[in-house]
Amino acid sequence: MNPVTDAVVMLLKTPFRRWNSDSKNDLLKAGNPIPMLSALALDKKLSKVFCRSFNPKLYQQHSWLCGSHYIQKLFCWPCLLLGKTKSVWNTVGYYDLKNVSRRLKNLEKNCFTVLDIVNEHGNLFKKNYNENVRLNRLFMEHLIDLVLFLGKQELAFRGHDESSDSLNKGNFRELFDMHIIRCSQEIQNHYSSLSKSIQNDLILSISEYLMNHIKNESRESKFYSIQIDDTTDISQKTQCLIIIRYVTNKSELVERFLGFHNVSDDRTAQCLFNLVNSVFYEFDIENKLVGQCYDGACVMSGHLTGLQARVKEVAPNALFTHCLAH
> DSSP readout, 205-232?
HHHHHHHHHHHHHHHTSS-EEEEEEEEE
Are 67 and 8 spatial neighbours (Cβ–Cβ below 8 Å)?
yes
Separation between Cα atoms, residue 279 and residue 277, nearest integer Å: 6
pLDDT at 227: 94
Q: Burial, 63: exposed, middle or buried (Cβ in 10 Å; 0-12, 13-18, 19+)?
A: middle
Query: Which class would CATH give 221-322?
Result: alpha beta
Give residue 284's Cα distance to chain centre: 27
What string of pLDDT tens digits covers the 326 residues of the chain? 566 789 999 999 998 888 887 888 888 888 889 998 875 555 566 566 666 778 888 888 888 889 999 998 999 888 888 777 788 888 888 887 777 777 777 777 666 555 566 666 666 667 777 888 888 888 888 889 999 999 999 898 888 888 878 888 888 888 888 887 777 777 777 676 677 788 889 999 999 999 999 999 998 899 999 999 988 888 888 899 999 999 998 889 999 999 899 988 888 999 999 999 999 988 988 899 999 999 888 888 888 888 999 999 999 999 999 887 76
> What confidence score (pLDDT) does residue 101 get?
77
Q: What is the pTM of this model?
A: 0.59
Map out the domains of the chain as residue ranges. Answer: 7-111, 117-203, 221-322
